[in-house]
Homo-oligomer: A and B are copies of this chain.
């Protein structure tokens, strides 16, 4: 059905699951670049990193439609990536508990263009506000000990055990999980790419 071979430039099992959920057929080819955050806004950071990932993989697979994505958590002016230790996960969760924060995912799509090696592309980001219930130190430690926080921006998985501590969100849930498939599908569909 798809006009191009679709490639997801991400190693995240959650992004893979979300793209499959909306019925697209694709292969996975993670980018090899380093993710580094600099002094920039969360929206600039995730857009730039998603572009780097998509462009890098498109350079290797120039006949494909490549989707890159990057997610960060923003709280009180801090950008939170993936915690490097259980202690860092606890610090992040202490910061998030009992209040609202924002999750940003940037998405870039690159696909072939006649006569242009760099292809055509578009980039967007979605922002979702997430509100946590209060968590006591014991609950934070017990949750961190599950290891669920370790590979996730902000130190939590909304689609995992952390659901017990989520009061609500405003925006796209899948954007928090790591890929705003609603907006992505709409952007692809309006360009007749799917």
Residues of A near any B CB (own CB < 8 A) = 18, 21-23, 128, 133, 158-161, 163-174, 181-183, 185-186
Contact = CB atoms under 8 A, between A and B. Distances in A.
B168 A128 contact: yes
Contact of A168 (B18, B158, B160, B171): B171
Contact of A169 (B133, B158, B165, B173): B173
Given A133-B186, A182-B133, A169 B166 contact: no
A167 B126 CA distance: 10
B21 A163 contact: yes
Q: Which of A22, A164, A172, A174 has the most CB of B within 10 A?
A: A164
B182 A172 contact: no
A150 B166 CA distance: 29
A54 to B, nearest CB: 20
